[in-house]
Amino acid sequence: MTTEAATRRMPGAPCWVSLLAHSLPATQEFYGALFGWEFRPGPQHFGPYARAFLDGREVAGVGELAPDRHLPVSWTTYLASDDADVTAEQIRSCGGTVGVGPLDADDDTGRMAIASDPQGAIFGVWQGRSMMGTAFTGEPGTAVWNELVTRDTGSVGPFYEHVFGFEAETLSSDDDFDYLTLHLKDHPVAGIHGVGSALPRDRGSHWMTYFAVSDTDAAARRVTELGGRVLDGARDSAHGRLATVADSEGAVFTLIQKG
């Protein structure tokens, strides 16, 4: 196992991303065309579900919401756990909420839960068995970073530190930029960005998934061609060229082209 793969499997590290959409076929068509993903059936305990593969290795999951469930369509970041039941108890004791599970995936790949932090941001917990999570990352079409967007880091940073054992590092001494990088054994694995009043009212606190692309500008154009939207146009950052977009059903994610 590579160091990078081992890091993703550390308890607390983001290890999987999954999307619940209204139309599974339409969603597969969108991401297949955007990232080159291919799909195979996955566990069906919540309804139709497929795992996305890139070059034969699994990189994400896509499920279909029941017609009577009017939930927002969004990507969910899953954090690794050695014991989903223990993690669920820690979430509750630290002020979070466990909404689903813990329960076993029906193909015995692992045990999972869906929870929310004290500010309402939803995330998953994954205790891998035969499937530990994303098979690889760093290449175009794979998730390369996960970031909690919330009102301020001080309100939720301690929650994630206590539940998952993160070591939080303030990114900048600039008081106007509220950002924590979350580390596990000296490896940066995720971030928390406090955006204050810029937090979208229609979304509230949420985890954002960053997907690598070879050309951010071209990928953003492709999103619109496929029926999605560009929410925040291509721009340069210290970590690469970014664009925040929404898919054809409104699920928001960020494209990143490494510098």
Q: Residue 7: what pLDDT?
A: 52
Q: Write the CB contacts of 188 (distance below 8 Å, at least 6 apart in sequence).
A: 169, 181, 182
Q: Residue 42: what pLDDT?
A: 80
**Whole-structure pTM over 0.85, yes or no?**
yes
For 46, the 3-state DSSP assignment is coil
Within 10 angstroms of residue 247's Cβ, the number of other Cβ atoms is 22
Instruction: Classify burial at 186, counting beta carbons within 10 Å of its beta carbon; exposed 0-12, middle 13-18, buried 19 or more.
Output: exposed
Distance between terminal CA atoms of the chain? 26
pLDDT in tens, the chain (259 residues): 344 554 557 899 999 999 999 999 999 999 999 999 999 988 776 688 999 999 999 999 999 988 877 777 999 999 999 999 999 999 999 999 999 989 998 767 889 999 999 999 999 999 988 788 888 888 999 999 999 999 999 999 999 999 999 999 987 656 678 999 999 999 999 999 999 999 988 889 999 999 999 999 999 999 999 999 999 999 998 889 999 999 999 999 999 998 6
Query: Among residues 116, 130, 121, which one has the least CA distance to residue 51?
Result: 130
The residue to which tokens 């917990």 are assigned: 125
List the strands of the sheet with 143-150, edge to edge. Answer: 167-170, 178-184, 187-194, 143-150, 206-212, 252-257, 240-246, 229-237
Residue 147 to residue 159: CA distance in whole angstroms: 15
Which amino acid appears at position 175 of this protein?
D
Query: Among residues 140, 144, 106, which one has the least CA distance to residue 37?
Result: 140
Q: Residue 172: what pLDDT?
A: 66
Q: Residue 68: what pLDDT?
A: 77
Kind of pairing between the strands at 122-128 and 74-80 = parallel
Q: Residue 158: what pLDDT?
A: 96
